[in-house]
Amino acid sequence: MLYYTLVITGIQDQIMYIVEVIPLTILPSNVPQLLSYFFNKKLEKGAIAEIPFGNRKVLAAVVASTPLEHQKILLKKTGFQLKKISNVISETSQVSNNQFKTALWLSRYYYAPLGYCLKTVLPPFFLKKGYGTLTQNSLQDIALPETRRYLAKPLFLLSGAKETLANILPFIKKAVGGQGQVALIVPDTSTLRYFYGELSRNYEVAAVHSGLNNKKLYEAWQKAGSGKADIILGTRQALFLPFKNLKLLIVDDVQHEFYKSDMTPKYNTPDLARVIAGFNNARIIFVSVISGVENYYRLKNKDYELLDETKPRSPVKIADMAGEIKNGNFSLFSREFKNQITSSINPSSQNKKILIFSPRRGHSGVLICRNCGYAVKCKECGIAFRIHKTTDLILVCHHCSRSLKMPENCPNCSSFEFKTAGPAGTQKIYEEVRRLVKYSGAEKIPIMVLDADVVKNETEEEEIIEEINNPGTSVIISTQMIFSHRYDVKFDLVGILNADSLIGAPDFRTEERLFYQMEKLLDFLPAGRHGQSKNMIIQTYNSENQAILTASEGTYKDFYDKELETRKIFSYPPYSRLIKLTYRHKYKDKASYEARVLSGKLKMAIAQMKLEQKIKLIDPHPSFVEKERGLFVYNIVLKILPEFENIKDILKYVPSNWSIDADPRTII
């Protein structure tokens, strides 16, 4: 049931209608999201009105109009009177039934303001002059069925990137051949460009991403809503398009971090995709190179169907860098990796492609005072600067991009003695590779860097990828930016310079993120032909680390089973639902105090409602990145066990100046 608030003013004695609306503005999530006003005519569902709201006027979408005489008893009981709608912007429907339902689901599932969810669902050109309306869906009752009734059951396709297109094409052909539409959701524009180039040869494709202007986006909406487009291809916002007879929805690279929205409503794209598929009675396919713990659990429980199309892995070797140092090798490269690079760039070796993967951009690690051990930190974020090299060495914050000159003395103790610590970045690796190439007499071999410092736009990125694919031997040093090109780029040798830095963050999902990145890197290595050896080398200072050993051996099933046992003991997903509550303030003491106050209120409420066995609370703690934009950040995490569903009974105690993140990617 939807609840509404009656707001005070006078009602004249004439034929009137009570109009229920969703204000297209932010209301605190713990107050009613549907408001009631009166008007002298019936307004259509989806119509847009201007309403008085406090001391200002805001736009609102009409949900229902009821004759006043049907509500007289209710009005008398409440003792309140209604305000009149100020103005009608559009008497005809501008919001479709599916848009209403999607917004309502987002609001309920992610505990976000309903009006803000509706603004998220509506296109940026909504109500702007020169753009028509697209509401081909009939506007019926927007009440949602139970979650289990409208969630589509996914087919989980395990597939390497280079085989993904071939594996999904039969499903696409079947859907389009049956006069249906297909939606293919991808994590980024680089992946979008690849699929567009392949699919647009045989199908009418509407491409959607955040970089489109209103004109281009409107054209894509028209193609989708009219049924002209066979395939809607886009990043996560493509889910909000007005589909015409959607028969198949595919989410590629389903575990990608870009699928989690970092803005309210903080939705997770695969979960929303299941809902959209359910609304449209469409089939849904999740695609990934690896299942991950929670999807493995769902596959075991038959919540998902499995289609395994993975190929045999290329060999993976571990290089023990601690042992290398003991044996006198202080280079960035292990002896074996250096030998394989040297062999690959030898003039007798033709058309060898080498990828050196570094999780870090920049030159060196952090700057540390030799006297007191202080690491020079960003005042805005509280995290250590990393050293970059332009004309001179500078310090750059990788969180907010703030930069400053290298200090002459320590800000903490005034000492003039500094040292660097931490893994090398792409700039330093480039210098080392140049020396190695020069020493080998192969100076003409292209050495490229692909990271956010070097690449400023899509054109520059595509130029580097084109150079990689050109005939001849080449070396590329890259961060995670290379992952989007697994579909059409191949390497003969892949090296991870510091795998330990992939495990750094103390979060319960850290190890499976390591596996995910390892498998993506293996995706670049096609099976060797004619006896050619193609392999990956993992450099680590902790060669006995179980996560790195598991990643190198590919024995994920054993790890998943053990990990599920551990998560069950500590009530982590999939055995609970996480809710992260976050507070920010410019003063650390204030942030800490407010976090303790709310934690105390929540603990008291949990105890009074006797929910100790259904809700677990992780005490307030500073965020892993202590500050954001100069504000100190504190988190409280709730673990909600499956048998408890009335989460709003607890979240009503959360003040409106806290943010709520349901199903967060990380709890730190």
Q: Are residues 354 and 483 in the same domain?
A: yes
Distances, alpha carbon 361 to alpha carbons 72, 419, 453, 494, 510, in Å: 67, 19, 7, 17, 20
- Identify the residue with better confidence: 29 or 521: 521
User: According to the annotation, is 372 in a ligand binding site?
Assistant: yes
User: According to the annotation, is 400 in a ligand binding site?
Assistant: yes
Q: Are residues 546 and 602 in the same domain?
A: no
107 found inside a domain: yes
Distances, alpha carbon 586 to alpha carbons 43, 370, 626, 634, in Å: 46, 31, 11, 11
Q: Are residues 159 and 177 in the same domain?
A: yes
396 found inside a domain: no
386 found inside a domain: no
Question: For position 14, what pLDDT does the model report?
Answer: 63
Q: Are residues 435 and 490 in the same domain?
A: yes
Q: Are residues 191 and 229 in the same domain?
A: yes
Domain's final residue, options 497, 530, 564: 564
Instruction: Tell me the average pLDDT of the chain.
Output: 88
Question: For position 219, what pLDDT does the model report?
Answer: 92
Which has the closest alpha carbon to 175: 273, 102, 263, 244?
244
Domain's final residue, options 509, 537, 564: 564
654 found inside a domain: yes
Q: Are residues 350 and 241 in the same domain?
A: no
Dihedral of alpha carbons 195, 199, 201, 203, sign: negative
Q: Which residue segment(s) compose the domain that 582 sits in? A: 577-662
User: According to the annotation, is 369 in a ligand binding site?
Assistant: yes
In contact, 245 and 219? CB cutoff 8 Å: no
User: According to the annotation, is 378 in a ligand binding site?
Assistant: yes
Q: What is the mean pLDDT of residues 594-613?
A: 95
Least confident of 56-65, 131-140, 175-184, 453-462: 131-140
- 339 token code pair: 């030998």
378-419 pLDDT per residue, tens = 888 888 899 998 888 899 988 888 888 999 899 899 988 898
398 found inside a domain: no
Q: Are residues 243 and 336 in the same domain?
A: no
446-466 pLDDT per residue, tens = 999 999 888 888 889 999 999
Q: Are residues 272 and 245 in the same domain?
A: yes
CATH number for the domain harbouring residue 592: 3.30.70
260-301 pLDDT per residue, tens = 999 999 999 999 999 999 999 999 999 999 999 999 999 999
Q: Are residues 180 and 273 in the same domain?
A: yes
User: According to the annotation, is 413 in a ligand binding site?
Assistant: yes
368 found inside a domain: no
User: Helix, strand, coil % (nearest 5) of the chain?
Assistant: 35, 25, 45
- Give strand pairing partners of 367: 420
Question: For position 530, what pLDDT does the model report?
Answer: 40
Number of domains in the chain: 4
Cβ burial of 461 (10 Å; 0-12, 13-18, 19+) is: buried
133 found inside a domain: no
Q: What is the DSSP string of 300-353?
A: HTTSSEEEE---PPPPEEEEEHHHHHHTT--SSS-HHHHHHHHHHHSTTS-S-E
Domain's final residue, options 529, 564, 599: 564
- Identify the residue with better confidence: 58 or 156: 156
User: According to the annotation, is 381 in a ligand binding site?
Assistant: yes
Q: Are residues 519 and 587 in the same domain?
A: no
313-363 pLDDT per residue, tens = 888 999 999 999 999 998 999 999 999 999 888 877 778 999 999 988 888
Q: Are residues 338 and 476 in the same domain?
A: yes
Q: How confident is the model at residue 92 (pLDDT cuts 50, 70, 90)?
A: confident
Q: Are residues 246 and 188 in the same domain?
A: yes
- Identify the residue with better confidence: 16 or 322: 322
Q: What percent of the chain has pLDDT over 90?
A: 58
Which has the closest alpha carbon to 637: 598, 591, 586?
598
- Give strand pairing partners of 550: none
In contact, 84 and 15? CB cutoff 8 Å: no
Q: What percent of the chain has pLDDT over 70?
A: 91
637-656 pLDDT per residue, tens = 999 998 888 898 999 999 98
In contact, 579 and 638? CB cutoff 8 Å: yes
Question: For position 365, what pLDDT does the model report?
Answer: 85
Question: For position 504, what pLDDT does the model report?
Answer: 67
Q: How confident is the model at residue 189 (pLDDT cuts 50, 70, 90)?
A: very high
In contact, 359 and 480? CB cutoff 8 Å: yes
CATH number for the domain harbouring residue 454: 3.40.50.300
371 found inside a domain: no
